């Protein structure tokens, strides 16, 4: 189970970050994550949907069916107030984590 | 409901499928835009996405919440994952794991061993059907210092049955012994005289033949019928069914066997092999109201409590006292559950010792928590990273608790082995007097349940402390400051655990110390005779074979034959051997007594000439009873020092007259005062009036049939005399059976059995607890020193002297010890009273014990602090500083 912590936590954080400014549909969220992480996080794309639904269940995201610019029906996900707060917390945690990793790497390297 | 649910979930699925379909289309379009042909683009999009059905199912689970089964499955998966993780982690540090498992095993083992005994003796069923309803009605003399149990007379027992309203059944069981003289060598067989209703009360149907008839119970002195125990039947009669109707000789008298009881039932005495109707004693004995030699047993009526029954018997006793003021003065009947009768004060002792084992387990548990805390601190980085990676607090906590449980399970396995072995060793070492025969100690379901419960509590407890600490750590802020705030909490917690370990160890030490003092006081009691050298046995000369006139010449002859043996230096006879049963008490009056009420209760001992010399009982004044006293007209007596001190203060009783048994007549002239002999126990204060004093008269003047003979061997061990005695007695009269034979030292050992047992266990437990506490203290200090290397290095670099650094660490240790000592002393003062009933010659608040124990604990603690302190002074500042 240990390995999936990184994945789940990170993916959720990335999703929250992606919809921070404006609600997006699943495809757009996935695309943006792929592009911003330049494919480093080689995720199974399907994992996006369980993550989205989990975040919605937690109340951090809200969803709504809307028309896309191309006139197709799609479900858009946006940040709730709670989600915005969590994003801030999670970002701090993330910073702490990267700090920790860097500290660990730095120590063992020196 | 079901259908609605299905529709719902189908709708959800449709929505998700629509979302995914949109995604896949968009993704394929994106790939097409990169120049891939439409069909291939769709294939790649699908491949990158993964299994659509699986994703839909996952989303469905998330949206709907998990079903109970799925939840359980996830939990089980999580648990087994946690277990694997915990085992891997423990295997990575085998040293830690070994110490932890052994520590827990020790604690669990101790508790399991004691619990096994408690379970077997207190919880498991008595050897009677619905045994919890069985009570004994104990006739007692209501003395000012507490009731003294004496027994009931036949008329008294009948009155109790008729006048009481609390019992479904009441019957009589008078323990006795018979000498079985037919079908083999003469053998003393324990038996019971029983009255109507006895077998029904115990719901016993005979295995063979019948029980007694109403007529056999009711007509005195005519029907000599007996029932055998299954044991005796199998042992002496080879399990022959033809035994029914056969005649056997008890004390050379013919009795008819009418029945054999089922296996496992041996009467209220738990060892009876022969049962006879009470009525066979004859009318005269049955009519005597003052002859209290019977036990009375009853089954509580449905819904009646022991307390109700006691209140009932109190009113019965009051009415009897009114009706028979002489025979029933201050007589009461105690209603005591059978189990309490069989276990006596062992019951309380077992519970106290179980408590002590529990304290040891707590110390072991505290040590484990401390070890786990140290480990958790060492794994700080791992915990912080896992938290950062999104592991929930719950999951972290579950991980720690699982680790605690895995350790506890391993500890429980070790503990169960140790405990089973320990319980066996314990019962083997336990003197027979402490546990009734029906108690069979073996691991059974309650023991396993108990161990499982202990294991779970320990595991969860040991995992929670470090788990909570780790989970509480906020990940905000830098790793370093996070680490340090967590460390402060850890070290406070560790300190608290060490303090409680020291306190618990001290509590156990105080208990052990008090038991030691009490035991040494008991071993120091002078029994008033040369117990180490002497050997004794009892004989019964039945009326059918020895007339009253024949008693003296017979016994003289027997004693002479014994003395003629080269192994025997001297032999003497007596009515009762010290510390073996057979005492009798009556009343005496002093010369200046003016009324019957001035009577003094005392124990009378009929002794042969040379008794005082053979026993080694010194005379304090005057002369002993000698051979001339049996023939002279003058009636003489020797009184005990206690009697002299209490009733002749400041006078010389020698030459005075006392009236034994009756105020009438010439009385007995006191010819001597003998040192006190401990006849009934070692500890009751006779001088203080808590037991009645002793008087000796010449056996020849009052010969009796149940007598004791004591030998002083010429050389070697007293126990070597068994063979000689049996041979001489058999030569003299093959129908006499030697009973209660053995060295007199054994009786003394029996008296101190409980004290030695309590001492042994408390000493073991407290020793282990001190070792664990010291190891715990050492561990915490060593860990603290390790963590403060840098600080210590800086101090030393700045010129701190080694002694100062050492003192700093030792001070830290001593602070913990001092805290533990204060706490432990408080607890000991409160808990000491539970031991009060088992202490002799020492008060629960014994300054000597407390001083020694505190000194011991402080010394051991200082030692534990010294090693890490010395190591701290060897810190190399340069290296320590470079490391960080």
Q: Quick one: pLDDT at residue A39?
A: 62
d(CA B714, CA A91) in angstroms, rounded, equals 96
d(CA B27, CA B511) in angstroms, rounded, equals 79
Q: Is A47 on the interface with B (CB under 8 A)?
A: yes
Q: Is A58 on the interface with B (CB under 8 A)?
A: no
Residue with tokens 């500083």: B881
User: Among partner residues B26, B81, B388, which is closest to A97 by beta-carbon distance?
Assistant: B388
Put residue B252 in one of left, alpha, beta given phi > 0 → left and psi -120 to 50 → alpha: left
Nearest-5° angle of CA B3, CA B9, CA B13?
140
Residue of B nearest to A10 (CA): B389
User: Among partner residues A5, A53, A103, which is closest to B389 by beta-carbon distance?
Assistant: A5
Answer yes or no: do B54 and A9 touch at CB < 8 A: no
Is the Cα dihedral B575, B580, B582, B583 positive or negative? positive
User: Among partner residues B19, B27, B390, which is closest to A5 by beta-carbon distance?
Assistant: B390
Exposure string for B671-708, b = 16+ CB within 10 A, e = fewer: bbbbbbbbbbebbeebeeeebbbbbbbbbbeebbeebb
- Minimal Cα–Cα distance from A104 to chain B, Å? 8
What is the C-alpha radius of gyration for chain A, rounded to an integer number of angstroms? 16
Q: Quick one: pLDDT at residue B446?
A: 87
Q: Which of A28, A30, A45 to mutate to test the interface with B (most CBs of B within 10 A)?
A: A45
Answer yes or no: do B55 and A46 touch at CB < 8 A: yes
Burial of B47: CB neighbours in 10 Å, binned 0-12, 13-18, 19+: exposed
What is the C-alpha radius of gyration for chain B, rounded to an integer number of angstroms? 39
Answer yes or no: do A100 and B388 touch at CB < 8 A: yes
Residue of B nearest to A76 (CA): B19
Nearest to B34 by CA among A90, A84, A31: A31
Answer yes or no: do A1 and B78 touch at CB < 8 A: yes
Compare B262 and A33 and report the one with higher pLDDT: B262
Nearest to B824 by CA among B858, B801, B795: B858
Chain B residues touching residue A104 (CB < 8 angstroms):
381, 385
State the count of interchain CB pairs (< 8 A) between A and B: 105
The pLDDT confidence band at residue A104, using thresholds 50, 70 and 90, is: low
Q: Quick one: pLDDT at residue B478?
A: 36
Under DSSP, is residue B65 helix (H, G, I), strand (E, B) or coil?
A: coil
User: ipTM of the assembly?
Assistant: 0.86
Give long-range contacts, CB 8 A cutoff, 24+ apart: B789-798: B789/B875, B789/B880, B789/B883, B790/B880, B790/B881, B790/B883, B790/B884, B792/B872, B792/B875, B792/B880, B793/B875, B793/B876, B793/B877, B793/B878, B793/B880, B793/B881, B794/B877, B794/B881, B796/B873, B796/B875, B796/B877, B797/B877, B797/B881
Per the structure block, which two tokens stand in for B31?
């790939």
Q: Quick one: pLDDT at residue B12?
A: 67
Answer yes or no: do A26 and B475 touch at CB < 8 A: no
Per the structure block, which two tokens stand in for A72?
């197709």
Q: Which of A5, A28, A46, A74 to mutate to test the interface with B (most CBs of B within 10 A)?
A: A46
Q: How far is CA B154 from CA A68, B157, B300, B855, in A?
A: 107, 5, 21, 59
- Enumerate residue ranges in chain B where pLDDT < 50: 1-7, 474-483, 884
For residues B603 and B585, the answer to whether their CB atoms sit within 8 Å is yes
Q: Which of B17, B19, B476 to mutate to test the interface with A (most CBs of A within 10 A)?
A: B19
Q: Quick one: pLDDT at residue B337?
A: 94
Chain A residues touching residue B22 (CB < 8 angstroms):
25-27, 72-74
For residues A15 and A52, the answer to whether their CB atoms sit within 8 Å is yes
Residue of A nearest to B16 (CA): A49
Answer yes or no: do B19 and A104 touch at CB < 8 A: no
Burial of A3: CB neighbours in 10 Å, binned 0-12, 13-18, 19+: exposed
User: Among partner residues B62, B85, B480, which is closest to A54 by beta-carbon distance?
Assistant: B62
B572 forms beta bridges with B710
- Minimal Cα–Cα distance from A82 to chain B, Å? 17
d(CA B538, CA B577) in angstroms, rounded, equals 8
Chain B residues touching residue A33 (CB < 8 angstroms):
none
Answer yes or no: do B390 and A12 touch at CB < 8 A: yes
Under DSSP, is residue B122 helix (H, G, I), strand (E, B) or coil?
A: helix
Q: Is A25 on the interface with B (CB under 8 A)?
A: yes
Residue of A nearest to B23 (CA): A27
d(CA B277, CA B193) in angstroms, rounded, equals 5
For residues B697 and B608, the answer to whether their CB atoms sit within 8 Å is no
Q: What is the 3-state secondary structure (H, E, C) of B819-849?
A: HHHHHHHHHHHHHHHHHHHHCCCCCCCCHHH
Q: Is A85 on the interface with B (CB under 8 A)?
A: no
Sequence length of chain B is: 884
Residue of A nearest to B475 (CA): A93
Single pTM value for the model? 0.73
User: Among partner residues A5, A25, A45, which is closest to B49 by beta-carbon distance?
Assistant: A45
Nearest to B430 by CA among B760, B205, B674, B669: B760
pLDDT at A109 over 50: no
Q: Is A30 on the interface with B (CB under 8 A)?
A: yes
Q: Is A73 on the interface with B (CB under 8 A)?
A: yes
Chain B residues touching residue A30 (CB < 8 angstroms):
23, 27
Answer yes or no: do B390 and A101 touch at CB < 8 A: no
Q: Is A64 on the interface with B (CB under 8 A)?
A: no
Listed in sequence order, the residues at least 6 apart from B752 whose beta carbon sits closer than 8 Å to its beta carbon are: B519, B522, B523, B682
Residue with tokens 């030692």: B863
* Beta strand ranges found along B461-567 (DSSP E): 535-540
Per the structure block, which two tokens stand in for B103?
């520590």
Under DSSP, is residue B591 helix (H, G, I), strand (E, B) or coil?
A: coil
For residues B272 and B151, the answer to whether their CB atoms sit within 8 Å is no
Chain B residues touching residue A31 (CB < 8 angstroms):
30
Per the structure block, which two tokens stand in for B728?
């001489």
Per the structure block, which two tokens stand in for B69?
């089964």
Phi/psi for B533 (5° steps) reads -95, -25
- Minimal Cα–Cα distance from B44 to chain A, Å? 11
Sequence length of chain A is: 110
Nearest to B730 by CA among B569, B575, B562: B562
Per the structure block, which two tokens stand in for B2?
């079901």
Burial of B326: CB neighbours in 10 Å, binned 0-12, 13-18, 19+: exposed
Q: Is A95 on the interface with B (CB under 8 A)?
A: no
Q: Is A66 on the interface with B (CB under 8 A)?
A: no
């Amino acid at each position: 189970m240990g390995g999936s912590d990184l994945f789940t936590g990170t993916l959720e954080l990335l999703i929250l970050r992606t919809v921070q400014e404006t609600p997006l549909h699943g495809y757009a969220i996935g695309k943006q994550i792929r592009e911003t992480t330049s494919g480093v996080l080689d995720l199974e794309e399907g994992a996006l949907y369980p993550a989205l639904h989990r975040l919605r269940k937690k109340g951090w995201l809200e969803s709504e069916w809307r028309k896309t610019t191309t006139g197709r029906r799609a479900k858009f996900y946006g940040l709730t107030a709670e989600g915005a707060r969590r994003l801030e917390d999670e970002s701090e945690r993330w910073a702490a984590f990267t700090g920790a990793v860097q500290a660990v790497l730095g120590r063992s390297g020196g | 409901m079901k259908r609605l649910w299905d529709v719902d979930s189908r709708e959800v699925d449709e929505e998700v499928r629509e979302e995914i379909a949109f995604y896949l289309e968009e993704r394929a379009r994106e790939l097409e835009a990169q120049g891939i042909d439409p069909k291939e683009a769709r294939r790649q999009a699908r491949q990158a996405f993964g299994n659509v059905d699986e994703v839909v199912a996952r989303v469905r689970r998330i949206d709907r919440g998990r079903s109970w089964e799925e939840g359980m499955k996830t939990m089980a998966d999580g648990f087994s994952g946690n277990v694997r993780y915990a085992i891997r982690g423990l295997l990575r540090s085998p040293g830690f794991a070994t110490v932890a498992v052994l520590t827990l095993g020790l604690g669990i083992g101790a508790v399991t061993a004691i619990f096994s005994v408690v379970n077997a003796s207190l919880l498991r069923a008595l050897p009677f059907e619905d045994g919890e309803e069985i009570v004994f009605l104990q006739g007692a003399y209501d003395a000012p210092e507490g009731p003294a149990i004496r027994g009931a007379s036949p008329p008294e027992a009948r009155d109790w049955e008729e006048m009481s309203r609390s019992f479904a059944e009441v019957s009589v069981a008078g323990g006795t012994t018979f000498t079985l003289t037919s079908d083999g060598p003469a053998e003393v067989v324990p038996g019971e005289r029983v009255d109507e209703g006895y077998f029904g009360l115990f719901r016993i149907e005979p295995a063979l033949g019948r029980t007694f008839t109403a007529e056999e119970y009711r007509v005195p002195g005519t029907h000599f019928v007996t029932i055998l125990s299954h044991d005796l039947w199998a042992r002496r009669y080879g399990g022959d069914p033809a035994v029914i109707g056969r005649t056997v000789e008890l004390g050379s008298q013919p009795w008819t066997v009418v029945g054999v009881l089922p296996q496992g039932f041996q009467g209220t005495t738990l060892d009876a092999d022969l049962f006879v109707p009470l009525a066979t004693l004859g009318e005269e004995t049955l009519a005597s109201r003052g002859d209290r030699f019977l036990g009375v047993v009853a089954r509580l009526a449905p819904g009646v409590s022991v307390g109700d029954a006691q209140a009932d018997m109190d009113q019965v006793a009051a009415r009897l006292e009114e009706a028979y003021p002489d025979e029933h003065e201050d007589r009461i009947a105690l209603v005591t559950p059978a189990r309490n009768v069989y276990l006596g004060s062992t019951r309380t002792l077992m519970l106290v010792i179980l408590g002590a084992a529990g304290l040891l387990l707590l110390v072991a548990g505290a040590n484990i928590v401390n070890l786990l805390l140290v480990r958790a601190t060492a794994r700080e980085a791992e915990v912080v990273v896992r938290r950062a990676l999104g592991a929930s607090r719950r999951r972290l906590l579950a991980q720690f608790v699982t680790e605690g449980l895995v350790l506890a399970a391993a500890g429980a396995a070790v503990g169960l082995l140790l405990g089973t072995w320990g319980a066996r060793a314990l019962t083997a070492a336990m003197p027979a007097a402490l546990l009734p025969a029906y108690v069979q100690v073996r691991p059974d379901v309650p023991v396993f349940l108990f161990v499982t419960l202990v294991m779970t509590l320990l595991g969860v407890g040991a995992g929670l402390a470090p788990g909570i600490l780790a989970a509480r750590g906020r990940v905000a802020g830098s790793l370093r400051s996070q680490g340090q705030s967590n460390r402060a909490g850890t070290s406070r917690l560790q300190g608290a655990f060490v303090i409680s370990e020291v306190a618990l160890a001290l509590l156990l030490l105080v208990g052990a110390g008090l038991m030691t003092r009490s035991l040494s006081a008991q071993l120091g009691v002078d029994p008033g005779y040369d117990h180490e050298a002497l050997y004794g046995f009892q004989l019964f000369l039945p009326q059918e074979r020895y007339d009253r006139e024949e008693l003296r010449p017979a016994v003289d002859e027997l004693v002479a034959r014994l003395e003629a043996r080269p192994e025997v230096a001297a032999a003497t006879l007596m009515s009762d051997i010290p510390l073996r049963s057979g005492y009798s008490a009556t009343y005496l009056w002093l010369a200046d007594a003016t009324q019957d009420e001035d009577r003094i209760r005392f124990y009378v001992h009929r002794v042969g000439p040379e008794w005082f010399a053979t026993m080694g009982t010194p005379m304090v004044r005057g002369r002993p009873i000698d051979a001339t006293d049996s023939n002279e007209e003058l009636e003489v007596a020797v009184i005990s020092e206690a009697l002299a001190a209490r009733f002749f203060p400041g006078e010389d009783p020698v030459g005075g007259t006392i009236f034994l048994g009756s105020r009438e007549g010439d009385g007995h002239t006191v010819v001597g005062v003998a040192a006190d002999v401990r006849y009934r126990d070692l500890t009751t204060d006779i001088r203080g009036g808590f037991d009645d004093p002793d008087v000796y008269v010449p056996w020849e003047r009052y010969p009796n049939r149940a007598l004791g003979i004591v030998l002083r061997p010429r050389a070697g061990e007293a126990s070597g005399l068994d063979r000689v005695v049996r041979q001489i007695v058999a030569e003299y009269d093959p129908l006499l059976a030697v009973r209660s034979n053995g060295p007199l030292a054994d009786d003394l050992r029996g008296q101190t059995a409980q004290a030695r047992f309590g001492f042994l266990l408390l000493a073991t437990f407290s020793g282990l607890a001190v070792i664990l506490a010291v190891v715990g203290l050492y561990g915490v200090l060593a860990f603290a020193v390790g963590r403060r290397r840098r600080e210590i290095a800086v101090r030393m670099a700045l010129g701190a002297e080694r002694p100062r650094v050492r003192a700093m660490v030792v001070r830290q240790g001593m602070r913990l010890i001092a805290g533990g000592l204060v706490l432990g002393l408080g607890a000991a003062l409160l808990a000491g009273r539970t031991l009060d009933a088992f202490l002799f010659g020492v008060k629960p608040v014994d300054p000597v014990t407390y001083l020694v124990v505190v000194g011991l604990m402080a010394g051991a603690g200082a030692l534990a602090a010294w090693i890490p302190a010395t190591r701290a002074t060897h810190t190399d500042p340069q290296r320590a500083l470079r490391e960080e």
